[in-house]
Amino acid sequence: MQSFKSERTFVSVDPGKCIGCGLCEFACTIEKGEQFWNPLCSRIRVVRMAPVFNFALSCRGCEDAKCVKTCPERAITQSENNKLLVINEKKCKGCDWCVQACPRGGITIHTGTGKAIACNLCDGEPKCVEICPENALELVHTDEEADKCFDDALESLHVVTEKLATQIKNKDWTTLLTISEKRAQKITEKLQNLNKKAYEKQRK
C-alpha cells in the first residue's frame, strides 16, 4: 500500500460502484475489535438510498476541520502529517457537537462508549478498501478527487435507473439474476475471508 504519512489521505467512494453490501462496516468493526461486529460502531458508514445509488461516508481529514474547532472540550486534534483526526477519549464528553459540525458525515458517536470516533485508515492499510467486493472504495488526497466520483455517479443515475426499470418492466430476470449472482459470489468470498480473519483475531 502506498505511503500516505506525508499528505492528507482519506477513503473515497464511487457511488456508481457501491452496492450497499455493508462489508466495509463489518471489516472496520472487526479491525477495531468491536464486540458483535456492530456496524453502528463502524468508522465508515453505508448510506443506502436506493437499489442503484448507495455510498459510504468516512472522515476526510479536512484542511479546515470544523469538528476540531467546534469541540468544546478540545478533545479533537489533527495529525500534522496526514490530517487524520486524533480523539482524546478522556476529554471527549460525547456532546455530539462535532457530528453536527461535520459537513461530510465523517464523524460519529460510538454507541457503546458514547465517545466520538473517526476513521484512522487502519494505520495505513484500510480494511474497508481491501474488503470491498466492487472496488468502490479507494484512497484519495483531495476533495476534488472524491467529489468527482460522486458527481459523475449522480449525473448517470437517471440512465442507470431507466435501464433497471426497463429490465424489470420487460421481466428480464435472467440478466438481473446473473448480475445478482455474480455480486453474491463476490460478497460470499469476501465474507468467508472476513470471518476467517475475525476468528483468528479472537484466538489471539
- Residue 145 sits in the same domain as residue 95: no
pTM of the model: 0.85
Does residue 83 form part of some domain? Answer: yes
- Residue 76 sits in the same domain as residue 20: no
- Residue 100 sits in the same domain as residue 170: no
pLDDT for the residue 2: 43
- Of 109, 139, 170, the last residue of a domain is 109
- How far is Cα 82 from Cα 8, in angstroms, rounded to an integer? 4
- Residue 72 sits in the same domain as residue 126: no
CATH number, domain of 87, equals 3.30.70.20
1-47 pLDDT tens trace: 344 456 889 999 999 999 999 999 999 998 998 866 788 899 999 99
What 3 state SS string does the chain have?
A: CCCCCCCCCEEEECCCCCCCCCHHHHHHHHHCCCHHHCHHHCCCEEEEEECCEEEEECCCCCCCCHHHHHCCCCCEEECCCCCCEEECCCCCCCCCHHHHHCCCCCEEECCCCCCEEECCHHHHCCHHHHHCCCCCEEEECCHHHHHHHHHHHHHCHHHHHHHHHHHHHCCCHHHHHHHHHHHHHHHHHHHHHHHHHHHHHHHC
Stretch 179-187: mean pLDDT: 91
61-73 pLDDT tens trace: 998 899 999 999 9
91-105 pLDDT tens trace: 999 999 999 999 999
pLDDT for the residue 36: 64
- Residue 100 sits in the same domain as residue 127: no
Mean pLDDT of the chain: 90
- Residue 155 sits in the same domain as residue 84: no
- Residue 159 sits in the same domain as residue 71: no
For residue 165, what are the domain limits? 10-58+119-203
The count of structural domains within the chain is 2
Amino acid at 13: V
pLDDT for the residue 3: 45
Stretch 133-155: mean pLDDT: 94
- Residue 40 sits in the same domain as residue 133: yes
pLDDT over 60 at 55, yes or no: yes
- Residue 128 sits in the same domain as residue 142: yes
